[in-house]
Amino acid sequence: MGRSLELEDRLRESYLDTMELVIAILLGEQADAVFTSADLGEIGVDDTEPRF
């Protein structure tokens, strides 16, 4: 079980690294900008936390 949890952590880290790169490519110079929940709502993005 310990190995599975370790692999899960590594997968999550890899996923977050990949998403940071994708965001940087999509947003360009605005990649480091801060967006509020209201900003996201204005463009139709639902930022509700997912339920697991």
- Please write down the HEC assignment for all residues of the chain: CHHHHHHHHHHHHHHHHHHHHHHHHHHHHHHHCCCCHHHHHHCCCCCCCCCC
Structure token digits, residue 7: 């692999």
Supply φ then ψ for residue 34, to 5 degrees.
Answer: -105, 130
Residue 25 forms part of a structural domain:
yes
Structure token digits, residue 40: 């996201």
Domain count, the chain: 1
Residue 7 forms part of a structural domain:
yes
User: Residue type for 33, please?
Assistant: A
Domain range for 9 is 2-42
Q: How confident is the model at residue 30 (pLDDT cuts 50, 70, 90)?
A: confident
pLDDT of the residue at 14: 97
On the question of pLDDT at 1 being above 90, the answer is no
Residue 50 forms part of a structural domain:
no
What's the whole-model pTM score?
Answer: 0.55
pLDDT of the residue at 45: 93
